[in-house]
């Protein structure tokens, strides 16, 4: 079914872009997005679903210290939960 193929290609492309963003450092596991409570998974979900994230919401990174972890991996992030459709 061509429509489904197109959709899945688009989804694959977005996932690829999201993962590329993580690997390149554009999206960092240790970086909050600025949306309340958002971290890696929520941000990735937004990227994957094609939602634009304005630059202004990014939090300022902590000042780097050479050889030490200024940014951290988020110990409490979770996969975005799928919301049940309302009847």
Partner 1 sequence: MPMAPRSSRTITAAEFREFHAAGSFSAACDLLFNASVTIAWSLFDVPEDAASLQAAFLTFTKCLRDWLGQRGMPCAYLYSHEVGQRVGAHTHIAVHIPPSGPDWAERSAWDEFPEWVSAWSVRFFGRPAKRAVRVGRTNPPTLVGHWLRVSYAAKGYDRGAVLRSAENSDDGRPVMLGDIIAWDWTDPGPVALRRRVGAARGLGPARRRLGVTKGTLSAPPPAFNPARLVLDRAIVDNNPIDTTARPRTVPLAPFRSKLEDGFLDVRALYGDEFCFLVDPRLVRTGYPTAPEIDIVKELENLVFD
Q: Is 25 in the site for partner 1 (CB under 8 A)?
A: yes
What is the C-alpha to C-alpha distance for residues 63 and 52, in angstroms, rounded to an integer? 27
Q: Using CB under 8 A, count the residues that bind partner 1.
A: 29
The conformational region for residue 83 under phi > 0 = left, psi -120 to 50 = alpha, else beta, is beta
**Of 4-12, 51-59, 64-72: span binding partner 1 (CB under 8 A):** 64-72
Q: The tokens 């909050």 sit on which residue?
A: 32
Q: Is 79 in the site for partner 1 (CB under 8 A)?
A: yes
**Of 4-12, 25-33, 50-58: span binding partner 1 (CB under 8 A):** 25-33
What is the C-alpha to C-alpha distance for residues 55 and 6, in angstroms, rounded to an integer? 29
Q: Is 73 in the site for partner 1 (CB under 8 A)?
A: yes
What is the C-alpha to C-alpha distance for residues 29 and 35, in angstroms, rounded to an integer? 15
Kindly tell me which residue out of 65, 81, 84, 86 binds partner 1, with binding defined by CB under 8 A: 65
């Amino acid at each position: 079914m061509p429509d489904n193929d197109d959709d899945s290609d688009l989804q694959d492309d977005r996932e690829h872009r999201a993962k590329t963003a993580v690997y390149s450092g554009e999206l960092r596991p240790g970086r909050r997005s600025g949306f309340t409570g958002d971290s890696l998974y929520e941000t990735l979900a937004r990227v994957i679903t094609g939602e634009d994230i304005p630059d202004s919401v990014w939090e300022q990174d902590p000042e780097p210290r050479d050889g030490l972890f200024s940014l951290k991996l988020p110990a409490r992030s979770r996969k975005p939960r799928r919301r049940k459709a309302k009847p």
